[in-house]
Homo-oligomer: A and B are copies of this chain.
């Protein structure tokens, strides 16, 4: 039995308590300042407000003011914050720990020179004494909570630490592949958010064109093909290994089907501007929007330097045009097939 502190009680951070408790570990779930109601709900009702089943028995809940108590004696810190919380984590939590970290955060940071960096490497540069690992791959939190068969990738720099992490988390339904390719895995699962938004556009476009709910998959599949092609090119430019593309493809597949990115894509496809769609979605912050802007910016800088051609990224740049310039969705199909 090990003691694990999960900091960040969003859906994915919270969901990881299920395999951990199934394996009998002590789980301390710590809410950030944004998670106050989630922690209260856990204490009062034993349930996360967004899950349709109770937390496992025996969970321990902590508000952010109780962070030190939660971290005391913990052997692993799981970071459940979103990409919007990485600086907060680095300032508030990481200086207080000496144990390995496993991060569920999806995203990339953009340097001034146009270099895209994964968060674990960014953390490691600031906290060289800590061992940073991350989870990637196709896993929706509510299906993890429901016990669906799930295959994820844990990536990190130290094979022994990875094997230990796998031992903590693996269950008969939560299967864990290990990878030394932190940069590639993290890049692939971050990029997929932007491309999932691109694919979801076609769902909305088909609703608008055909006025029916009949399944329209040709256009989704064409965007999947184009998205994967662009992801592969981006991963190559970032120096990623080969296998992470498959992880990214699986993650892209699952992301098209769930959550707010899909909703946003459908609204944009139906004809909303980004501003109109965000008003309907109540201004929620989305990883897909953040990553698209950053990667498009990076690609433009790389193209200026002659490292790549903008012609290789028509889907990325189309989605970015919708998000950052208020354009309407109008998929540039012929740009996908141009020689």
Contact = CB atoms under 8 A, between A and B. Distances in A.
Interface stretch (A23-31, A218-226, A290-298): A218-226
B336 A219 contact: no
Interface in A244-269: 246-247, 249-251, 253-254, 257-258
B217 A336 contact: no
B216 A148 contact: yes
A146 B206 CA distance: 11
A258 to B, nearest CB: 7
A243 interface: yes
A176 interface: yes
A218 B148 contact: yes
Nearest to A229: B246
Contacts of A205: 149
Number of chain copies forming the complex: 2
Interface string A267-308: 000000000000000000000000000000000000000000
B254 A232 contact: no
Contacts of A215: 257-258
- Tell me the interface secondary structure of chain A in the complex: helix
Interface in A97-156: 137-140, 143-144, 146, 148-151
- The 3 A-B residue pairs whose C-beta atoms are closest, nearest first, are A225-B250, A138-B221, A151-B222
Interface of A: 137-140, 143-144, 146, 148-151, 175-178, 202, 205-206, 210, 215-222, 224-226, 228-229, 232, 243, 246-247, 249-251, 253-254, 257-258, 331, 333-334, 336-337, 339
Given A151-B225, A229-B246, 15 more contacts: A138-B221, A140-B218, A143-B218, A148-B210, A148-B219, A150-B218, A151-B226, A178-B337, A178-B339, A217-B254, A221-B253, A221-B254, A222-B250, A225-B253, A253-B253
